[in-house]
Structure 1
Amino acid sequence: MHTLHTILLLVYILVCCVLTVIVLMQEGKQAGLTGAISGAAETYWGKNKGRSMEGGLELATRILAVVFVVLSLILNLKIFQ
C-alpha cells in the first residue's frame, strides 16, 4: 500500500507541475476580448479554435484539472494514512 501511495504522489506532483505550465502558456482572456470587439473572432482562426494550439491547451487544462481533483481525493483517503 505504501508503494501505491508513493506512485500516486509522484503522479500527483507531475500533474501539478504540468498543469501549472499549461495554464501559464495559455493566452489571456483580454487578448480574445479585443479580437472579438474588432471583429477578428470571425476569422479562420476564430472559427477553428478547437483545432488550434489554444484549443488543445484548454482541453489539456480541463483533463488535468479533473485528474488533479481525483488524485487529491484518492490521496486524502484514510487507507493511505
Structure 2
Amino acid sequence: MRIALTVIQAIVAVILITVVLMQPSKTNGLSGLVSGGTGESFYSRNKSRTSEARLSRITVICSIIFAVLCLLQNIIK
C-alpha cells in the first residue's frame, strides 16, 4: 500500500510541476507601470473559459491530491 501511494505521489508531483511551469507569468513588469495596468477587455471578462483558468484549476486539484497523499503516508507509518 505504501509503495502504491509513493508511486501515485511521484506521478502527481511531476504533473504538478509541469502544470505550474506551463502557466504564464502574472506580472506585467515595466509595461504595467508605464501603461497603468490593463483595463476591462473581452479577455478579462471571459478569463474563466481560457486555458489559463484550466491550468489554474488543475494546479489546485493536483496540490490538494498531493497534500492528501502526504497526510495518508504519514498516517500509515
TM-score range, shorter chain: 0.7 to 0.9
- What does the per-residue CA deviation read over 1:27-54, in whole Å, with 9 as the maximum and x for residues that have no partner? 11104x9398132xx2221111111000
Q: Secondary structure at the match of 2:24?
A: coil
> With structure 1 as the length reference, what TM-score do the two structures score?
0.79
> Any unmatched runs of 5+ in structure 2?
none
Q: Quote the RMSD (CA, aligned, Å).
A: 2.0
Q: How does 1:1-81 map to 2 (within 5 A)?
A: 4-31=1-28, 34=32, 37-39=37-39, 42-77=40-75, 79=76, 81=77
Cα distance in structure 2, aligned partners of 1:53 and 1:59: 10
Identity of aligned residues (%): 32
How far residue 17 of structure 1 moved from its aligned partner, in angstroms, is 0.4
- The ranges of structure 1 where at least 4 consecutive aligned residues each deviate by more than 6 angstroms after the TM superposition are none
Cα distance in structure 1, aligned partners of 2:36 and 2:4: 45
Between the two proteins, the alignment pairs up a number of residues equal to 73
> Any unmatched runs of 5+ in structure 1?
none
Cα distance in structure 2, aligned partners of 1:75 and 1:66: 14
Q: Select the structure that is richer in helix.
A: 1
> With structure 2 as the length reference, what TM-score do the two structures score?
0.82
Cα distance in structure 1, aligned partners of 2:46 and 2:11: 30
